[in-house]
Amino acid sequence: MNDIAAHFADEGSLARVIPGFRARPQQVEMAEAIARAIKGNRALVAEAGTGTGKTFAYLVPALLSGGKVIISTGTKTLQDQLFHRDLPAVRKALKVPVRVALLKGRQNYACHYHIERSMSEGRFLNREDAVQIRTISKWLLTTMTGDKAECAGVPEDSTVWMAATSTRDNCLGQECPSAKECFVMAARRTAQESDVVVVNHHLFFADVMLRDEGMGELLPACNTVIFDEAHQLPETASMFFGDSASTGQLLDLARDTRTEALIAARDFAPLQDATRSLEKAARDLRLAIPGENARLGYEQVADKLDFTNALDVVEKELEHYLTLAESQAERSEGLEKCWQRGTEMHRRVTNWRRLNQPDTIRWVEVFSQSASLNTTPLRVGEIFRKQIEGNAKSWIFASATLAVGKNFAHYNAELGLDALDPPPETGMWGSPFDYAEQAVLYAPPNMPDPNSLDYADAVVEAALPIIRAAQGRTFVLCTSLRAMKTIHEGLESHFHRQALDFPLLLQGQASRSELLERFRMLGNAVLVASQSFWEGVDVPGDALSVVIIDKLPFAPPDDPVLKARVSWIEKQGRNPFMDYQLPRAVISMKQGAGRLIRSERDRGVLMVCDPRMLSKPYGKRVWQSLPAMRRSRVEAEVVAFLETLPAPAASEI
Q: Is the dihedral of CA 374, 375, 380, 384 positive or negative?
A: negative
Residue 346: CATH number of its domain? 1.20.1440
CB 424 within 8 A of CB 40: no
Per-residue pLDDT at 425: 96
Q: Tell me the pTM.
A: 0.88
Peptide bond into 646 cis (omega under 30): no
Name the pLDDT band for 653 (thresholds 50, 70, 90): very low
Residues 258 and 346 reside in one and the same domain: yes
* Terminal-to-terminal C-alpha distance of the chain: 51
* Pairwise CA distance, residues 16 & 425, whole Å: 32
The secondary element (H helix, E strand) that includes residue 507 is none
Residues 529 and 399 reside in one and the same domain: no
Strands 360-366 and 294-297: antiparallel
Residues 321 and 416 reside in one and the same domain: no
Whether 546 is covered by a domain: the verdict is: yes
Range name among 235-239, 521-525, 558-562, 646-650 with the lowest pLDDT average: 646-650
CB 226 within 8 A of CB 71: yes
Residues 329 and 439 reside in one and the same domain: no
* Pairwise CA distance, residues 162 & 522, whole Å: 33
* Pairwise CA distance, residues 129 & 287, whole Å: 28
- If one compares 291 and 34, the residue with the highest pLDDT of the two is 34
Strand order in the sheet with 371-377: 243-246, 371-377, 360-366, 294-297
| Percentage of residues of the chain with pLDDT beyond 70 | 96
Residues 425 and 448 reside in one and the same domain: no
- DSSP letters, 119-186, are HHH---SSHHHHHHHHHHHHHTTT-SS-BGGG-TTS-TT-TTHHHHB--TTT--GGGSTTGGG-HHHH
Q: In this structure, which amino acid lies at residue 488? A: H
CB 594 within 8 A of CB 328: no
Percent helix, strand and coil across the chain, each to the nearest 5? 55, 15, 35
CB 117 within 8 A of CB 170: no
CA distances 55 to 2, 18, 279, 412, Å, are 18, 13, 47, 22
Per-residue pLDDT at 251: 95
Residues 274 and 194 reside in one and the same domain: no
Give the mean pLDDT of 293-318.
Answer: 93
* Pairwise CA distance, residues 163 & 173, whole Å: 17
Whether 492 is covered by a domain: the verdict is: yes
Name the pLDDT band for 125 (thresholds 50, 70, 90): low
Residues 367 and 507 reside in one and the same domain: no
Sequence-separated (6 or more) residues with CB below 8 Å from residue 282: 247, 250, 251, 254, 314
* Pairwise CA distance, residues 338 & 507, whole Å: 37
Q: In this structure, which amino acid lies at residue 33? A: A
Answer yes or no: is pLDDT of 223 > 70.
yes
CA distances 527 to 317, 354, 477, 591, Å, are 47, 45, 8, 17
* Domain housing 636: 435-652
Residues 257 and 235 reside in one and the same domain: no
Whether 133 is covered by a domain: the verdict is: no
Whether 373 is covered by a domain: the verdict is: yes
Residues 459 and 524 reside in one and the same domain: yes
Number of domains in the chain: 3
Whether 169 is covered by a domain: the verdict is: no
Residues 484 and 607 reside in one and the same domain: yes
Whether 131 is covered by a domain: the verdict is: no
Residues 366 and 399 reside in one and the same domain: no
Per-residue pLDDT at 460: 98
Whether 268 is covered by a domain: the verdict is: yes
Residues 415 and 309 reside in one and the same domain: no
477 pairs with which residues across the strands? 529, 549
Residue 615: CATH number of its domain? 3.40.50.300
pLDDT, tens digit (0-9, with 9 covering 90-100), for 463-490: 999 999 999 999 999 999 999 999 999 9
Whether 112 is covered by a domain: the verdict is: no
Closest by CA position to 467, among listed 516, 443, 501 = 501
3-state SS, residue 7? helix
pLDDT, tens digit (0-9, with 9 covering 90-100), for 307-323: 999 999 999 999 999 99
